[in-house]
Structure 1
Amino acid sequence: MSIPPTIVAFTRDTWKWEWIQLMKGLAPADKEGNYKRVPSQKNNAHIQHPETLVNRSKNELPFLIIGRSCPWAHRTWLVYILRGLQNNIDLKLATPDPQGGRWLIEPNFMGCKTLLELYKLCRTPPSHRATVPTIIDPKPKGKNNPELLGNESAQLIKMLNDWPVKSNAINLFPKGIQDEIKQCSELMQSSINDGVYRCGFARTQKAYEDASSELFHSLSLIEKKLSKQGPWICGDTLTLADIMLFPTLIRWESVYAPLFKCSAKPLWAFPKIWEWRKTFFSIPGVKNTCDANVWRRDYFGALFPLNPSNIIPNGPNIENIVNSLAPYTR
């Protein structure tokens, strides 16, 4: 039995209206349908009294809270691993609660079940959204309550790069190329890191086309840069610029291409980027921060307006994705 055209048209119009209402809560947009990320209430990430951090007991260490699926938290996790901060900062895992729209802390920590409760314990202003990544000092000097040291990823990766350690650790923001690192980071943040979300959360065809065009143009610029001065984005040295880009590109085939429609070109169409990602993934410790199955579960399972069926697709594990041969090499 066929469905009457009037019912089909009514259903389309109703669903479109409901979709727009859902998108208003998920991803604010301007009048042209371009996704506009809500500005974060920057907490000016800082290290107060760094001399007190080196000799802290295990129970008094500041802690970094991350979510495995969050690309912004992934940045901080990478710096944490690459600089060997395991003895200087404790790592806590928060898990998303799509139904409640919050981050859960399991097991409970400092009497808190959610990240929001922990923010309140730190007496953080209500204007600060409870997001990951977050660094909290449980025993700040001269204070009786825990202190939020920062929750803006671009600030936190710099802070973690400056974190006092007893042994030598890699410097991801070396003098001499800091301006270049900043320029690359600004390009990637707006058009690639945020660009994939502007594709996925676009409300109109034009908004999507504009975001996609800018995204792939910027990838072409990175490809040219790697061709001229690789193996890393800023030359011979691994830097914060690489840290900024990796979490986005490692999620490409699992999430951003299929769910966010970042599909104008496959990533292997950029040979230097393809090799760069493989090289980064091979760094000891990096593989353990990557889990495509978790990413698919959390993105496809949580973003109902983009995946109303709630069906979570199967897919290869991250090692198979990264280490697969591009068609041009076969």
Structure 2
Amino acid sequence: MTYVSPGREYTRDSRYLTDRITADGHGGFPVGPGRYRLVVSRACPWASRAVIVRRLLGLEAALPMAVAAPTHDDRSWDFSLDPGGRDPVLGIERLREAYLARDPGYRGGITVPAIVDVPTGAVVTNDFVQITIDMSREWTAFHREGAPALYPPALRPEIDAIDAAVYEDVNNGVYRAGFAGSQEAYEAAYERLFARLDLLSERLGASRYLVGDTLTEADVRLFTTLVRFDAVYHGHFKCNRSKLTEMPVLWAYARDLFQTPGFGDTVDFEHIKRHYYLVHEDINPTGVVPAGPDLSGWLEPHGRAALGGRPFGDGTPPGPPAAQERVPDGHGPLTS
């Protein structure tokens, strides 16, 4: 599959389906337990945000989840992990079918995360930015007891500002480096990425979390890039000034989050590596998937508790993941 456009800077297609699922249903899609299905891939950092937030808030029963296979082709993500190669609820083989159920002439990106309306089989939204915000704001009636406030009103301006910078320079920055079509575009993305990581290191050197003294949406968004950094971005995307393990503050911060219930127990390193190294054929034409890196360091002490902070504020951690949602054994240090 082709992602690199020679001579050009990488630009993400941001044409998303922006319908929203709201508590009052004013847009035609009211919140309702079991009505919708969250389709994700554990390989995808944008989908991983939704997986983590859903788990932290305890929305597993209200918003069931479908996990697509880690690789896809031009026909879209598929459900080959499920018996018979079909999602057991939607009855489809490929996510493309749910997009076409919404619009038979659909020509946009077939992306995850996507929330599908089960009665119609049609995608409601794939707006990954808004999906997690709405989990916090619109699904409150179905939050678990003790759910953290990931997007508290008083901190929203600061969270939004951090999120914008992290998205531009880090979340999307690694893609601009990896899919750069010229040396100049690559070097600009590379410099911008590491300049931002240096600023984040300074910020997190004195604060356990990005905003306030508890976990917020901002931490979730940064984590999904950091957890993939050494496994794929450092080598595959040429983001190689430093490994995460060579950036002491960010490495300790990432380990702190990884060891927090709801974060590391959602991470599937095997899916992550298979996706990036097999799907991006123009970057890795041999299709060889690296055997490393060593994952044991993710469980080493991080020392971040000395900075204070309360991960869940006045709330509590989520319980263990349900058996059907556990990351397979051997796909990460928590399951090996």
Q: Same fold (TM over 0.5)?
A: yes
* Corresponding residue for residue 219 of structure 1: 197
Q: CA deviation at 1:101?
A: 4.4
Task: State whether structure 2 residue 150 is matched by structure 1 residue 175.
Answer: no
CA contact 1:44–1:155 (8 Å) conserved in 2: no
Which of the numbers 223, 228, 236 marks the counterpart of 1:251? 228
Q: CA deviation at 1:52?
A: 6.5
When Rg is computed on C-alpha atoms for both structures, the one with the higher figure is 1
Q: Which runs of 5+ in 1 are unaligned?
A: 1-21, 140-144
Between the aligned partners of 2:224 and 2:154, the Cα distance in structure 1 is 25
Superposed, which structure 2 residues align to 1:82-93 within 5 Å? Answer: 82-93=56-67
Between the aligned partners of 1:325 and 1:95, the Cα distance in structure 2 is 32
1:98 and 1:137, CA in 2 relative to 1: closer, same or farther beyond 3 A?
A: closer
CA contact 1:96–1:102 (8 Å) conserved in 2: no
Task: State whether structure 2 residue 94 is matched by structure 1 residue 94.
Answer: no
* Corresponding residue for residue 18 of structure 1: none
TM-superposition CA deviations, 1:170-213 (whole Å, max 9, x none): 12001211111000000010110000011111122221111100
Between the aligned partners of 1:270 and 1:150, the Cα distance in structure 2 is 36
* Corresponding residue for residue 135 of structure 2: 160
TM-superposition CA deviations, 1:46-97 (whole Å, max 9, x none): 326469745x4xxx43211100100000000000111111121101011255
Task: State whether structure 2 residue 98 is matched by structure 1 residue 118.
Answer: yes
Between the aligned partners of 1:243 and 1:180, the Cα distance in structure 2 is 15
CA contact 2:21–2:31 (8 Å) conserved in 1: no
Task: State whether structure 2 residue 18 is matched by structure 1 residue 47.
Answer: no
Task: State whether structure 2 residue 175 is matched by structure 1 residue 197.
Answer: yes
Q: CA deviation at 1:150?
A: 1.6
CA contact 2:69–2:78 (8 Å) conserved in 1: yes
Comparing 35-44 with 77-86, greater Cα deviation is found at: 35-44
Which of the numbers 110, 113, 116 marks the counterpart of 1:130? 110
Superposed, which structure 2 residues align to 1:70-81 within 5 Å? Answer: 70-81=44-55
* Corresponding residue for residue 299 of structure 2: 323
Superposed, which structure 2 residues align to 1:295-310 within 5 Å? Answer: 295-310=272-287
Between the aligned partners of 1:317 and 1:124, the Cα distance in structure 2 is 45
1:296 and 1:96, CA in 2 relative to 1: closer, same or farther beyond 3 A?
A: closer
Q: CA deviation at 1:321?
A: 3.9
CA contact 1:45–1:151 (8 Å) conserved in 2: no
1:204 and 1:84, CA in 2 relative to 1: closer, same or farther beyond 3 A?
A: same
* Corresponding residue for residue 151 of structure 1: 126
CA contact 1:27–1:36 (8 Å) conserved in 2: no
Identity over aligned pairs, percent: 29
Q: CA deviation at 1:100?
A: 4.1
Aligned residues: 290
Q: CA deviation at 1:255?
A: 0.3
* Corresponding residue for residue 322 of structure 2: none
Between the aligned partners of 2:189 and 2:156, the Cα distance in structure 1 is 28
Higher helix residue share: 1
Match of 1:283, SS? coil
* Corresponding residue for residue 242 of structure 2: 265
Residue 292 of structure 1 aligns with an amino acid whose one-letter code is F
CA contact 1:293–1:317 (8 Å) conserved in 2: no
* Corresponding residue for residue 142 of structure 1: none
TM-score (norm 1): 0.80
* Corresponding residue for residue 324 of structure 2: none
TM-score (norm 2): 0.79
Q: Which runs of 5+ in 2 are unaligned?
A: 303-336
Higher relative contact order (CA 8 A, sep 6+): 2
Task: State whether structure 2 residue 159 is matched by structure 1 residue 185.
Answer: no
CA contact 2:71–2:274 (8 Å) conserved in 1: no
TM-superposition CA deviations, 1:206-240 (whole Å, max 9, x none): 21111100000000111111123x11011301111
CA contact 2:10–2:181 (8 Å) conserved in 1: yes
